[in-house]
Structure 1
Amino acid sequence: MTVAATPGSHIMPQSDSREKRLAELARLRRQLPPCPLFEKWLAETGELPPDFDEMPVSPWPQELLVTMRDGRAQRIGRADWPARRQELRRLVETWLLGSAPPPPGNVRGVVENRRQEGDIEAWTVRLEFGPDHAAKLHCWLWVPPHQDRRLPVFMVDNARYTRFARAAMENGAFAICQYNATDPVYVAEKKDQSEAYKDLFGRYDWSEFRRRGWSASRVADWLSTLDFIDPARIFIGGHSRSAKQSLACAAFDDRIAGVIASSPGSGGSLHFRYCDQYYFGESIELLTRVFPYWVSPRVRFFTGRENRLPADFHMVYALIAPRPLLMSTAIHDTVENTFAVERMYESTREIYALLGAEHNLGLRYRPGPHAPDDATYLDHSRFLMLAAEGRSIAEAFPYRPYHPWKYKAWAAAHAPAVDVAAMPERAIDDPTADASGKPVPSARWPQRVAEIRAQVQWLLGDGPAYEKVEPRAETVPAGAAIVPATQPRRVRCRLGHDITGDIYYPPAGARRTAALPGAVWLAPLHTATGYIAGYRAGEQVHLRLSRGGVITLAFDPIGTGGRQEERRVFYDTHPRWSLMSKMVLDARHAIDALLAAENVDPSRIFLVGFGMGGMTALFTAALDERVRGVACVAGFTPFRTDTDAAPTGGMRRWSHFYGWLPRLGLFAERPAKAPVDFAEIIAAIAPRPVLIIAPTDDWHANHKDVVAAVEQARKAYALAGAAGQLTLSTPERWCEFNNDMQTEVVNWINSQPGTGATSP
């Protein structure tokens, strides 16, 4: 799902009101953590944030194959691609990577050393270029026996990832060239020589990755002069931050024959829109604070406004097409997200298809975390050899997504028959009123709740009904480490249908009573490590809850952590069910396990959810009265007012994009006809306590509508004589679950009394 980008959107919007932009800068400074280098950049450039009200909203990545002509979006053809490509380059330069000098045209190589390493000839070379040849760049070239053949060559910025081409070189098929424009994290003793170029070539706003990629192009200048190197087969690649600069090089240097992009993460293989805290990803805020100059500092203006960023990294990938490209990532790599990587692959594939080069694009998954394994190194060599021979990359690395979903195909085969036209249009209505708008008598309220629950069940689809499943505790292995008294104690269990859960018992000092409240932590869509956040704005939620005296059960939602294969086949097995219903069922089985835990007060069982987990928590509590209360953080926006024109991306996200609630898609064209909405869902939880934390600047939600839904649900609480049990907190933040919010949740849980109920 994408939106059009205008050819002129690379121009910085200018507002008539400088005061308005200064006020926006003041707001950012108030909200953002300190970043001295960003402040330094602001002082040097005098740049201000754009007037966001003048900028188009793009909750989906911009359409690569759509441009604006005469004020209208038009889909381009193959003949239009060169012009569109130049538009994308300008967008990438302006908003993401910055501009760079033209090629200096005078690169010369001074061979400092040449030696034999077995059969391999190894060179140490000093490149000199630029004004008076003042720019210096060392590189190291390894050449196998070539017998007058012109060899392809693989360029990389540090020795660690020369292994990508090692097998190819040992087969006599590739040369390898390492250059010294690398991040200091790799070669601390060798300073990135490209740092000296910042002032040597004039005033350019190039980011570090643009500068290092430009430096790699100077290596290509020199390699092209060697009679044993094939200038048409110069490849580049890298891993993590090395991959980012490889992408930057290839996007602006058409001589690069192909790219290995291994786990580049945020600012590489992920759209910024899909790696904010909604996904526990390395957000714009975090990336530009920890590494202020990796990308253009201008990107930091879009913290919490990712949906207004005029460019995104699918444009960088598009600029590499139609050349061979291998996207390589790990299933449990915390710098990436398999859901987001697949969105990047599918965006990029459109360009390769337009250019008749789908065979040149591959996506390879590997098991484990961030670091490449031996099989990955070998497969990267295989990619290089295949690409150098002009053979199919897609055939060698076929696309097998973990998150497959085609709403139209599902709707054609499995959608229930619904007369949408005959259904009433509604807004954010009073859940205590009947269809005619008259108040429901208190005596009839239980019937109204039953009606809401029936509508929720219909929306969730036709799947297995909840049945209690006895949890199974796992024994602690002999010799296991003793947990310090100051740390939460973890006990592993099996819940539901063989789902791994972890129960965290509070440290001794946090135990206020013999029986403690319990909480099920329901995590967002964080695919790499499930409920354990990869990047976060606060403490690990399950640990903060436990330290606060709450016995906490956590498990990976379907599609995350160790349950990604389960997501891959879910709709093949359960075409009439829904992922959200599965998440609700798992949450109810987690309640089974929590009730069986030692020292849990059965009358104080809470659900704590963030993002996707927040929505799961509300659905679950509406259906399961064992839940004492719910804390929902950035978890919902009302369906009926979430139109396609909304800055969120509209209601169809849940049906068409994520595939969480397919039946909701039946109302995507007319969301006001949705059969149930969050005002009713929250009302069905009454009189049990609910805490809604709705950050004011969360673009994943329509904030005013969230507030309106809570106020309408409050009428149900008033009807139940529990008006004070529904709490709305609206911090001036973007989508995140930070320490202040976590403390608010912990204090709220601990303030809730038990009811004296016993465990069923």
Structure 2
Amino acid sequence: MKRRRYVIPCIAFVFFSTALCDADENSRTGYSDADLPDAMTCLNGEVVKTTDDWKARKVEIKKLWCDYYIGHFPQEVPSLLSAEVISTQASADGSTRKRIVLTFDTPNQRSFEIEVWEPDPADVTAKPLLITSPRFYQKDNWGKEALKRGYIVCLFPGLDTHHREPDYPEYENVWRTFQKEYPDATWSSSLGIQAWLASRTLDYLLSPTSGYPIDDKAVGMTGFSRYGKQSIYAAAFDQRITCVVARSSGSPAASPYRFTGRETFMETPEDFPSAWALKSLKDFQGRENELPIASNALIACIAPRHLMIDTAYNDGGDPTFGVERSYLNAKKAWDLYGKSENICLSYRKGNHGPITNEQVQHNLDYFDMAFGRSEAKQSDFPEVLLHAFDWNTWKASQRRSDLTIAPQASVRQKIEWMLGEPSSSIKSAGEYHIKSGSELGVADSSRDRWNPGGIQRVPFSFSGKMHGNIFFNPNRTQFKATVVWLHPWNYSHGSNEGYGVQGTTVYYRLAQQGYKVVMYDQFGFGDHLTDAVGFYDEHPAWSRLGRAVYDVSKVIDFLVDGKGITAEPVPPTDPKKIYICGFAYGGMVGLYATALDERIAGIACFSGFTPMRSDGDSKPTGGIRRFWQWHALMPKLGLYHGNEEGIPYDYEDVLGLIAPRKCLIYAPKRDRFADHDDLKSCTKKARASWQDSREMTFLTPDDICRFQSTQQDALLRWLEAAVD
């Protein structure tokens, strides 16, 4: 076979080294915001109003992204010295596949190989290009389908360092080779360097001398999971990529770290492989709110080009709340150009995987639509939001009596008023149904993953067709107590623990220690995520938090009175020994539930609250806005926004209703969702409600907000003392 060689001029990689928004280094010191750093606001506070402003802001965003996440690229882009075709294979469908070695003018003139699939070399009409890495699920799904649709497909060495593909040897190490060529550059992220390699590949493919009939207005890139991150990085820095489909790109891509901390059981800065980002990023574990840049802004740099953020309802790496909040903020950049239709958030059923043909077709349809080459229409990709909430619309639906509470009302009445009035038409009230197969948002295999052996899991259902699981040691005849586990802000997986597991999960560990454990995905989370969509349309006088507390009482009905069903027989419950353990969101729900239901013997609340009356917008927690607006849990709190001191009750009152029962408050000093001094003061006031102060335990370790082995240890010690 004859080898062809090319000498091709380099098309410059878009590189930014200084910020035009003029934010000095000192402005980053002490930065803190529970919400996303707005994509359209510079660090110096100037708001983007024009496209010229946006150009300057993009420079700042990219510099910050390099500063905090991936390091800085080399100052110069090497020119392409040669392109050598080393093999050509013809396929029965008329397409050809070429292996090409590209050599660049780096200090040591380094090379890398790519593979190019061309549908019909004899057809010189302009064609769209799809570039992706040769991971088997990308090559065999999006790659092959794109080729069938008439795309030129390129597989470049964007293979992760932890992946190996026998047909593409050493593709996973190319990034290291080029990193070593530029020792003065700070780039240390494999994903960032591989994005740079994608641009070097485009230098060749889009050059007229390469000979490929590529439509330079139809350059697409796609990737799944870590390769979704890589695709977003590449498109943000290279304007030549005109459409991106990033599937389940996780953090920090579709979802920012602010909304995937340990309080969500999702992917935190501590969890990324060391090759993916700057080591210094891990320093932000537990203080993600101090990052002055988040992925919403990087995504916005793709505007006004086409972008599909493809995620799943129960994706273990893509929490829907974080994805939506990032998407809506990034969308402002598309709005600026009057091209809001060019960004798409697409949900699919299921988890991170598997990849189905239907999903691949949907993604390629989006590319076709973006490139104007099919019958696909913009209306085929409608905006669907799971967490959207319009507080003013809610307020307009309230009766006058719903908006005030008499000062002389009891604490219990004030709490019940805030939680709202349960509807008389609760969907499927009193009905039971155990989910299985495709009904489950979170696969059973995920829940069995951490089983240490010898623990039985039995699905059950209680009122409202709510589904859950019971864990116990089948070899025991006596159980110390029954513990109801209430999960944190894990919208995707609910009660199922994901990232951060240290050997085993709390439900398995409790079962090993002789407890019967009951857990379920709370309303609006995990298996019940989509059940909460449109909640306030159906229940304007109730609240999401009220529904969560109601469900706890229905679980107690199941445990005490048998109002529910199980897939198999389970051990009975001692009605005097029912305890709640809740973390973050679950801790808050547990406090309210225990305060209002005296059948609960005690509660262990981990990182569950901060006093409301002092939780204003100025606090790094995000203030009470988190609950009445962001998560739409207690809309009535919005009536006191800016007047927090007027809230009818606070957590010392909630705790007071729990006394004299057993109570553990675990409040780490560096929990970014709580003001520690305020919390200590609140707990001190509440302690007066216990005649025996030993029944109220307050632990304040020097730690961040998390629930892992250390917290499990504390729970087990407390339970041993409480149950005795």
TM-score range, shorter chain: 0.7 to 0.9
Pair 413,280 (structure 1): closer, same or farther in 2 beyond 3 Å: same
Residue 238 of structure 1 aligns to which amino acid in structure 2?
Answer: G
1:316, distance to aligned residue in structure 2 (A)? 1.3
TM-superposition CA deviations, 1:48-73 (whole Å, max 9, x none): xxxx8x3221111111122356xx54
SS of 1:695's partner is coil
Residue 462 of structure 1 aligns to which amino acid in structure 2?
Answer: E
Structure 1 contact 78–355 (Cα < 8 Å) conserved: yes
Aligned to 2:509: 544
Match status 1:463 vs 2:436: no
1:692, distance to aligned residue in structure 2 (A)? 0.7
Pair 475,394 (structure 1): closer, same or farther in 2 beyond 3 Å: closer
Aligned to 1:748: 718
Aligned to 1:401: 385
> Which aligned pairs between 1:545-564 and structure 2 lie closer than 5 A?
545-564=510-529
Aligned to 1:514: 478
SS of 1:327's partner is strand
Pair 600,300 (structure 1): closer, same or farther in 2 beyond 3 Å: same
Match status 1:668 vs 2:641: yes
Q: Point out where structure 1 has 5 or more consecutive residues left out of the alignment.
A: 1-5, 15-51, 425-434, 436-449, 755-760
Match status 1:304 vs 2:280: no
Aligned to 1:382: 365
Match status 1:414 vs 2:417: no
Pair 169,549 (structure 1): closer, same or farther in 2 beyond 3 Å: same
Work out the CA distance in 1 between the residues paired with 2:516 and 2:546.
25
Work out the CA distance in 1 between the residues paired with 2:433 and 2:464.
14
Work out the CA distance in 2 between the residues paired with 1:112 and 1:203.
33
Q: 1:736 aligns with which of 706, 710, 714?
A: 706
Pair 657,196 (structure 1): closer, same or farther in 2 beyond 3 Å: same
* TM-score calculated relative to the size of structure 2: 0.87
Work out the CA distance in 1 between the residues paired with 2:221 and 2:425.
53
Structure 2 contact 80–102 (Cα < 8 Å) conserved: no
1:159, distance to aligned residue in structure 2 (A)? 4.2
Work out the CA distance in 2 between the residues paired with 1:474 and 1:314.
38
Pair 672,390 (structure 1): closer, same or farther in 2 beyond 3 Å: farther
Aligned to 1:627: 600
> Which aligned pairs between 1:107-122 and structure 2 lie closer than 5 A?
107-118=81-92, 119-122=94-97
TM-superposition CA deviations, 1:634-683 (whole Å, max 9, x none): 11101001110001011111001110110011101111111111011001
Structure 1 contact 260–328 (Cα < 8 Å) conserved: yes
How many pairs does the alignment contain? 671
Work out the CA distance in 2 between the residues paired with 1:393 and 1:241.
29
1:491, distance to aligned residue in structure 2 (A)? 2.1
SS of 2:718's partner is helix
Pair 301,132 (structure 1): closer, same or farther in 2 beyond 3 Å: closer
Structure 1 contact 209–245 (Cα < 8 Å) conserved: yes
> Which aligned pairs between 1:482-497 and structure 2 lie closer than 5 A?
487-497=454-464
Structure 1 contact 156–178 (Cα < 8 Å) conserved: yes
Work out the CA distance in 1 between the residues paired with 2:348 and 2:401.
41
SS of 1:543's partner is helix
Work out the CA distance in 1 between the residues paired with 2:87 and 2:378.
40
Pair 218,753 (structure 1): closer, same or farther in 2 beyond 3 Å: closer
Pair 552,10 (structure 1): closer, same or farther in 2 beyond 3 Å: farther
Q: 1:591 aligns with which of 553, 556, 575?
A: 556
Q: Which moved more, 1:78-87 or 1:255-264?
A: 78-87
Pair 73,218 (structure 1): closer, same or farther in 2 beyond 3 Å: closer
Work out the CA distance in 1 between the residues paired with 2:303 and 2:237.
12
> Which aligned pairs between 1:253-652 and structure 2 lie closer than 5 A?
253-287=238-272, 291-371=273-353, 372-389=355-372, 394-414=378-398, 416=400, 451-464=410-423, 487-506=454-473, 508=475, 511=476, 514-538=478-502, 539-595=504-560, 596=562, 598-652=571-625
SS of 2:270's partner is helix
1:529, distance to aligned residue in structure 2 (A)? 2.1
Work out the CA distance in 2 between the residues paired with 1:475 and 1:266.
30
Pair 292,476 (structure 1): closer, same or farther in 2 beyond 3 Å: closer
Structure 1 contact 622–682 (Cα < 8 Å) conserved: yes
Q: Point out where structure 2 has 5 or more consecutive residues left out of the alignment.
A: 1-18, 438-443, 563-569
* TM-score calculated relative to the size of structure 1: 0.83
Work out the CA distance in 2 between the residues paired with 1:185 and 1:537.
21
Aligned to 1:194: 175
Aligned to 2:131: 155
SS of 1:403's partner is coil
SS of 1:616's partner is helix
SS of 2:661's partner is coil
1:540, distance to aligned residue in structure 2 (A)? 1.6
SS of 1:63's partner is coil
Work out the CA distance in 1 between the residues paired with 2:430 and 2:302.
53
Aligned to 2:14: none
Pair 496,143 (structure 1): closer, same or farther in 2 beyond 3 Å: same
Residue 200 of structure 1 aligns to which amino acid in structure 2?
Answer: E
Pair 244,735 (structure 1): closer, same or farther in 2 beyond 3 Å: same
Work out the CA distance in 2 between the residues paired with 1:474 and 1:97.
45
Q: 2:58 aligns with which of 85, 89, 96?
A: 85
1:398, distance to aligned residue in structure 2 (A)? 1.2
Q: 1:698 aligns with which of 660, 671, 674?
A: 671
Q: Which moved more, 1:671-680 or 1:113-122?
A: 113-122
Pair 711,373 (structure 1): closer, same or farther in 2 beyond 3 Å: same
Match status 1:203 vs 2:177: no
Work out the CA distance in 2 between the residues paired with 1:653 and 1:397.
29
1:423, distance to aligned residue in structure 2 (A)? 9.0
TM-superposition CA deviations, 1:367-398 (whole Å, max 9, x none): 22212221111111111111122888753221
Q: Which moved more, 1:187-196 or 1:493-502?
A: 187-196
Work out the CA distance in 2 between the residues paired with 1:294 and 1:514.
48
Pair 625,169 (structure 1): closer, same or farther in 2 beyond 3 Å: same
Pair 635,466 (structure 1): closer, same or farther in 2 beyond 3 Å: farther
Structure 1 contact 362–393 (Cα < 8 Å) conserved: no
TM-superposition CA deviations, 1:339-367 (whole Å, max 9, x none): 11111211121111111111111111122
1:407, distance to aligned residue in structure 2 (A)? 1.9
Work out the CA distance in 1 between the residues paired with 2:676 and 2:377.
45
1:186, distance to aligned residue in structure 2 (A)? 3.3
Pair 710,415 (structure 1): closer, same or farther in 2 beyond 3 Å: farther
1:404, distance to aligned residue in structure 2 (A)? 2.1
Match status 1:181 vs 2:158: yes
Aligned to 2:112: 137
Work out the CA distance in 2 between the residues paired with 1:624 and 1:471.
22
Q: Which moved more, 1:339-348 or 1:594-603?
A: 594-603
Structure 2 contact 480–723 (Cα < 8 Å) conserved: no
Aligned to 1:40: none
| RMSD between aligned residues | 2.8
Structure 1 contact 108–222 (Cα < 8 Å) conserved: no
Work out the CA distance in 2 between the residues paired with 1:487 and 1:622.
35
Work out the CA distance in 2 between the residues paired with 1:203 and 1:475.
56
1:305, distance to aligned residue in structure 2 (A)? 1.0
Pair 11,95 (structure 1): closer, same or farther in 2 beyond 3 Å: farther
Structure 1 contact 466–585 (Cα < 8 Å) conserved: no
Aligned to 1:105: 79
Work out the CA distance in 1 between the residues paired with 2:331 and 2:357.
28
